[in-house]
Amino acid sequence: MASRSLLVMASIAALPINAHMLMNLPTPFSPDKMMTWPVEAPGGRFPYPCQGWTDVAHRTVVTAGSTTLVNFTGSAPHGGGSCQFGINYEGLPAYSTDPTDWRTIYTIIGGCPAEIKSTPGNLEEDPYFRGYGDRQIPDAVHCGDDKGVDCIRQFEIPIPKDLPNGDATFAWTWYNRITQNELYMMCAPITVTGGVEDEAAGSKFVDELPVMFLANIPGFTNCSTSRTGEQGVFNIPNPGRYGVQLIEPDPNAAGDCPIAPPPVFEGPANNPNIPAIPASTAPRLTNAPATASSPTNLPASSGMSFPAHNGTRHTSTAFVTVTGGGVVTVTETVIVTAAVPTPAVSATPIVTTATGTTGTAKESETPAAGEPYPCAINGAVVCITERFFGGRADSV
């Protein structure tokens, strides 16, 4: 691993550093090395999965039946796009490299990690921020919620209550709206608590979750979301039962990947496995001006703007297979079932904690104005004041 680190760090020395986005919460593997670049086929500089990094600087504790805060750093969201969030229990203490071991727990269609209405789809660098610890990765203004426009959003991602307890890997994948033929993936070590202790029941629940969709890795996947001259929000096939649609997807964005039917997601009102999204539980991770809107919850229903479908619900199911040559093949079926009623949203507060070697920080507590936000890694993860998101923490 040491030799790989030396080779990769040497190869990226000449790369521009002001590109794309990275996930900073939950704390990713190897946060001192994680790059804002798309993943490549195994054997590349930043291989699938997780760019190949495995160093655990901090393991975030997440509570099944609650939510976990996901936040990003960067100034190039490429117009936004669609994201998936998944989990992998295999290959500990790191993770499995088998694509079928990565299971989807939540999907966001459009507006992730931003909704950009300006041209060319990226954001101006925030003059009050210039770094990710020592990394000097430019950042843009943060929305402080999941609905702001022309700013970097943050999301409360539900953690299903029937996940098994124990160490696992949390993953974020992103298909951007502009320059679509890329796949970004970053991963974080987590510990699931409050879930099921029964190993058989927990494994059954995970096995029934859909495999995270894969595209845009030349030599590894069999489809690309890019078509010449066409850009738009990609409708991820087989998104699972849990998620939200923030922007209507564009069928042209599918490229030669399967064109999925409109997603219909279940919410807490009609499925107990997905927790209600509280109205306001997370600290406001923002360096936006004080006039920015307050944090709000993710919509419980899909919010889609497609015409009604006569009381029916369409669910796409994609199956991922890996050939002997390492090529991932995706096939899709469509199932029509009964309509799903519009779910209600609970406003019950939920508290999650993150415990590291530097102490315990309650993620639900918002620091007073002018005080630093408790960093997961002393000196490595950015801290926050009312107008500042970044910089090196002298103390936690």
Over the stretch 325-355, which tens digit does the pLDDT of each residue have? Answer: 444 444 443 333 334 344 443 433 333 333 3
Smallest CA-to-CA distance from 34 within 114, 135, 153, 141 is with 135
Q: Which residues contact 263 (CB under 8 A, 6 or more apart)?
A: 107, 109, 235, 239, 243, 245, 302, 304
Question: How far, in Å, CA of 237 to CA of 216, rounded?
Answer: 14
> Could you tell me the pTM of the whole model?
0.68
Average pLDDT over the chain reads 72
**Looking up tokens 């919410």, which residue turns up?**
267
Q: Counting runs of H as helices and runs of E as strands, what totals does the chain give?
A: 2, 15
Examine the pLDDT at 206 and tell me if it is beyond 80. Answer: yes
| 274-294: average pLDDT | 44
Q: What is the per-residue pLDDT for 350?
A: 36
Q: pLDDT tens digits for 64-81?
A: 999 999 999 888 788 889
Return all residues near 284 (Cβ < 8 A) that are at least 6 apart. Answer: 144, 145, 294, 295, 366
Taking the C-alpha atoms of residue 34 and residue 251, their distance in angstroms, rounded to an integer, is 32
Contact (CB, 8 A) for 382 and 391: yes
What the chain holds in terms of domains, given with CATH numbers, is: 16-360 (2.70.50.70)
pLDDT value of residue 324: 47
Mean per-residue pLDDT, 201-206: 97
Q: Is residue 261 pLDDT above 80, yes or no?
A: yes
Q: Is residue 208 within a helix (H) or strand (E), and if so which, with residue range?
A: helix 199-208
pLDDT in tens, 14-60: 334 445 789 999 999 999 988 888 999 999 999 999 999 999 999 99
HSE-CB at 360 with a 13 A cutoff on CA atoms is 5
The CB density around residue 110, as the number of other CB atoms within 10 Å, is 24
